Structure 1
């Protein structure tokens, strides 16, 4: 019976692995993932009311229409230690950004053994591009005023003369643009700080109309609905919009929801942020907290979607001015950086339905990484810690497995005695377990207790940008990608074969053969898993072998001692 349960657990793990691979295959063929993060549903918010002919200052209906346009030749290029930014003077809109410290991932099929067999050669890695208006892609950060004929993201702005590069030894850089419409001037200033992806964006609104005005300011992200360039075809990470408020917390808004006009998110708030999310990276507008705002989404063109936030500005008397500030973050989903920008912003790092377990595992991994300085060795230490914590519970299982191995000849004898009479065979085996004080379920614990950690680590490797392109040793240069030389899966097969030899052999020859080929089936499947995940399971196997060997040795010594007494 113990062997039956153990086999059942192995089949569960096998089925789980097969299910994850099938899920990847579904995504590869353009279908939605079978499991993973779901869009949070909350109260339905009706669409903002208003007329485009008589704009209301606080509603999305007053926003200018959008058209996909080709990039202009007179873009303003800004260079910092982390960013190469391009700003279109029309609207002073960010239309291009390259992350200088983040490189596009080399396709797995271009490296290692697969690359050699297919004849593929990896190209020199390029900087990750977020904002863009090239190669049929659109991803923009826009702002403007509504409530009158005021400057919008379609108004012509002029660059205020000044430096465009963050010089060595310089901690901050401010680039200003001026635009005017309807007697209202807007001075838009982008302030960059060394070592930060967060950009402070201020709008000084100067009223030269001769009358009091009460405009509203909008902060908008516009993006096409395609997956980011360079993302693996078998990655099922979320690409789309999101809204966060203190009341309703993190809420996703998919591109399909935007197209259908569904607004299942909190529209009215005086806090929070709006964002566009893709695998490993995010762009988010974080307006000044404490100011009433209206969050909105809208489809602005063919496969073109926008999410934004509108804030009403207090009355500005003629001849006066008022300044509105916001922070634009556009960079990697580094949880430390995100937490420093705004509450809840780190929730864009999506660990799916195992967030409750993946979060502490990520925290522990980060802590260990701070000690050893290498994410691969951090995973090794994590595995050791998990095994140490679970060892008291696993010890009973190891002892049961060791005793059951000793009972192999007796079990074989029972099999021969009762033949195909499974009922009498099981009763005899249970009586033998009872006499020898063996818990047949105990052997399942070492495997069963590892499954939640295994799945949680799977999501950590899938979602955490810190492990993207993170090397371990020698041939493992990206723990979030499969092993390009298949060395880790091969080592895992070897360790599983050793485990099979250490454990009792099923009395049924057919079942014994199935158990013997199981390591090779797992090894082939694990070829497609992230090398960090295979590393975890490999180290877990090695530690299990050591523990099982020591227990087996102790059981044998006790048996010899008992026989000599």
Structure 2
């Protein structure tokens, strides 16, 4: 639950950053100065523009999809680590609950014993409670930089893709963003103890709603990034989750 709250907090902070910081109204080009512009925003803008103009004849929508997939592949190792850590944490929740009930007293000695038993439980199952936060932190500058690349690359706003304008908000894309985010969350929680947790059920809806609202006000090009990223994560979860769960249950099925 704490990870989910952390994620919501990060998204709120990210929305504040996206709303107007870092020269958001200044066009990005090779002459833009500063570490942020030179090493984060302009490389993404250049990559999208190069793919769109030299490969797809001004197909900026297709270029955004390709760059999104490339970025997801780049952070794939971290995402796999997050996925494994998240599911491992979910699967050991019954044991973790037993430990907390066993050491429910608030005195210092009992609380110290609770910490020791909790860490021993994590080590026994190979769980790192902080590992799930790393991909979130890694994706923040990438997403913000990609948003700036979209907003500050003038060519993107001048081209349509499918039924929407890349530089303008799209209600349909916002709905698709909400739906794909919800499906991704649902698949990740399916079949785990967290799926029966009322607090986690609230987060199942809260996070997609927040991202859907963001997509409603941001350019559709950013919503396209979110949708493609969600579809990538859904496929990644389906391809990795089942063998990972079988391996975890094989190694830890007998522990209680």
Q: Which residue of 1 aligns with 2:39?
A: 356
Q: Which residue of 2 aligns with 1:237?
A: 25
Indicate whether 1:439 and 2:227 are aligned: no
Indicate whether 1:541 and 2:225 are aligned: no
Greater per-residue strand proportion: 1
Q: Which residue of 2 aligns with 1:372?
A: 56
The 1:423/1:359 distance shift into structure 2, 3 A limit, reads: farther
CA RMSD of aligned residues (A): 3.2
Indicate whether 1:382 and 2:71 are aligned: no
The 1:511/1:388 distance shift into structure 2, 3 A limit, reads: closer
Indicate whether 1:557 and 2:246 are aligned: yes
Q: Which residue of 2 aligns with 1:479?
A: 166
The 1:531/1:404 distance shift into structure 2, 3 A limit, reads: same
Query: CA offset at residue 480 of structure 1?
Result: 1.8
The 1:354/1:432 distance shift into structure 2, 3 A limit, reads: farther
Query: CA offset at residue 481 of structure 1?
Result: 1.5
Q: Which residue of 2 aligns with 1:403?
A: 88
- Given candidates 8, 11, 22, the residue that maps to 1:10 is 8
Asked if the contact 1:497/1:519 (under 8 Å) is kept, the reply is: yes
The 1:394/1:510 distance shift into structure 2, 3 A limit, reads: closer
Distance in 2, matches of 1:402 and 1:532, equals 31
Count how many residue pairs are aligned between Structure 1 and Structure 2.
243
Asked if the contact 1:400/1:443 (under 8 Å) is kept, the reply is: yes
Cα displacement string for residues 313-363 of structure 1 (whole angstroms, at most 9, x for unaligned residues) = xxxxxxxxxxxxxxxxxxxx9x6xxxxxxxxxx53x689944421111112
Greater per-residue helix proportion: 2
Query: CA offset at residue 498 of structure 1?
Result: 2.7
Asked if the contact 2:182/2:204 (under 8 Å) is kept, the reply is: no
Query: CA offset at residue 9 of structure 1?
Result: 3.4
1:444 alignment partner, SS class:
helix
Q: Which residue of 1 aligns with 2:147?
A: 458
The 1:351/1:367 distance shift into structure 2, 3 A limit, reads: farther
1:237 alignment partner, SS class:
coil
The 1:507/1:457 distance shift into structure 2, 3 A limit, reads: same
Distance in 2, matches of 1:414 and 1:491, equals 41
Query: CA offset at residue 508 of structure 1?
Result: 7.3
Query: CA offset at residue 548 of structure 1?
Result: 2.2
Q: Which residue of 2 aligns with 1:328?
A: none
**Aligned 1:335-354 pairs, distance under 5 A:** 347=31, 353-354=36-37
Indicate whether 1:469 and 2:154 are aligned: no
Asked if the contact 2:18/2:144 (under 8 Å) is kept, the reply is: no
Query: CA offset at residue 420 of structure 1?
Result: 8.3
Give 5+ residue unaligned stretches, structure 2: none
Distance in 1, matches of 2:175 and 2:86, equals 25
Asked if the contact 2:178/2:212 (under 8 Å) is kept, the reply is: yes
Cα displacement string for residues 276-322 of structure 1 (whole angstroms, at most 9, x for unaligned residues) = xxxx6xxxxxxxxxxxxxxxxxxxxxxxxxxxxxxxxxxxxxxxxxx
2:166 alignment partner, SS class:
coil
Q: Which residue of 2 aligns with 1:321?
A: none
Cα displacement string for residues 63-99 of structure 1 (whole angstroms, at most 9, x for unaligned residues) = xxxxxxxxxxxxxxxxxxxxxxxxxxxxxxxxxxxxx
**Aligned 1:29-428 pairs, distance under 5 A:** 35-37=21-23, 237-238=25-26, 347=31, 353-369=36-52, 370-373=54-57, 374-418=59-103, 423=111, 427-428=116-117
The 1:419/1:378 distance shift into structure 2, 3 A limit, reads: farther
Higher relative contact order (CA 8 A, sep 6+): 2
Q: Which residue of 1 aligns with 2:179?
A: 494
Query: CA offset at residue 408 of structure 1?
Result: 3.3
Distance in 2, matches of 1:411 and 1:539, equals 35
Tell me the TM-score normalized by structure 2: 0.79
